[in-house]
Chains A and B, each alone.
Chain A
């Protein structure tokens, strides 16, 4: 194997009474960042917990840093730092207590780095958890995970509920932890701006299925909005790339995936005037994807 993969999921399925994760394939190489995007209840947290070995899948195979999960989770977990929203700290204890606790378990704990993080995060290690704000709690749990110098950081909703200053501190420190090729990040977020900024790969998940998973530059490059004038009411070329059509009189706006320049040409040839070709933000792509998935009710529609 020439490129070591941080995570390799093959055909993961997990059934719950109200929800199922279906045939999830997901992989990315070490040294990179994978951002998981999807609406509430789409299966992001379930998938992260399966990756962490906290939940066993009904079927499928998972390897994390080369270790099979959940079978070899003990070995894998030495190298993974996991941060989730519902992670509890001891309310009546200080940050220092938690630092000593984690240090006593993990030999990889880096005292100097922990001190640096305390300073950068503006945290007082003698403070008790009880009096800490949400932002301070997120920063404290991230500190506890990062100071172990994990090869893989798994972060469920890192920036939810954070003010812009703390959000930037958290994202900055996530990026700084990538200083060499052996460190990787898998995180989930609703904040498409965060995902767009720091991810090398983006995976869209909806209703327990992966809609699209590819490198961010291709992902962002693939989507375009075309603004057309249809003076003679000509029929539109029937392209599978068209994901959304909005017509208003003679004006027509299309959302297109896997765009290339020949597509604009096909519209011109069909007698339509192409007024503008625009790029989309991840937020627009996200909304477009979810809306069209809802409309199709996902009939095995591979985009």
Chain B
């Protein structure tokens, strides 16, 4: 099976976060519905050519976030009790964090930033 994970070389985030994002997106759009099995860590590593330890870390963090569940000997699957809305909201929050960081480095004052965001609502 091919998973077609595409990573960006200009993305400065650590690789495990990019993998988390690729998995979360597949879950968020419904391609990987709740309860569906995830590839084994080794399988995804050899397929995406990313080290096993990095995939392992991505799975651990996803488990911590409640996106996936893992059981020794049974592998991992998309969490049954997953709230897709919540997942998408978390993605939005991540984007907002980036916005906040950028605004800070550009020294844009708070009210001006809020005005800018309002334009897109």
Residues of chain A whose beta carbon lies under 8 Å from any beta carbon of chain B = 31-33, 171-172, 175-176, 178-181, 196-201, 215-217, 220, 276, 279
On whether A199 and B51 interact (CB within 8 A), knowing A217-B16, A279-B14, the answer reads: yes
Is the CB of B108 closer than 8 A to any CB of chain A?
A: no
Q: Assess whether A180 is in contact with B51, with CB atoms less than 8 Å apart.
A: no
On whether A217 and B53 interact (CB within 8 A), knowing A178-B45, A179-B46, the answer reads: yes
Determine the distance from Cα of A172 to Cα of B53 in the docked complex, in whole angstroms. 17
B52 surroundings in chain A (CB, below 8 A): 31-33, 178, 200
Q: Assess whether B46 is in contact with A176, with CB atoms less than 8 Å apart.
A: yes
Determine the distance from Cα of A215 to Cα of B52 in the docked complex, in whole angstroms. 11
What's the least CB distance linking A180 to chain B, in Å?
Answer: 7
Determine the distance from Cα of A200 to Cα of B15 in the docked complex, in whole angstroms. 13
A-B contacts, 21 listed (Cβ < 8 Å)? A31-B52, A32-B52, A172-B49, A175-B46, A176-B46, A178-B42, A178-B46, A178-B52, A179-B46, A181-B42, A197-B49, A197-B50, A197-B51, A199-B51, A200-B51, A200-B53, A201-B53, A216-B51, A216-B53, A217-B57, A279-B12
What 0/1 pattern do residues 25 to 58 of B give for CB contact below 8 A with A? Answer: 0000000000000000010011001111110010
Interface residues on B, range: 10 to 19
B57 surroundings in chain A (CB, below 8 A): 217
Determine the distance from Cα of A279 to Cα of B52 in the docked complex, in whole angstroms. 21
Residues of chain B whose beta carbon lies under 8 Å from any beta carbon of chain A = 12, 14-16, 42, 45-46, 49-54, 57, 105
Main secondary structure of the interface of A (DSSP, over half): mixed
Determine the distance from Cα of A181 to Cα of B52 in the docked complex, in whole angstroms. 11
A181 surroundings in chain B (CB, below 8 A): 42
Determine the distance from Cα of A32 to Cα of B54 in the docked complex, in whole angstroms. 12
Determine the distance from Cα of A181 to Cα of B14 in the docked complex, in whole angstroms. 25
What's the least CB distance linking A113 to chain B, in Å?
Answer: 14
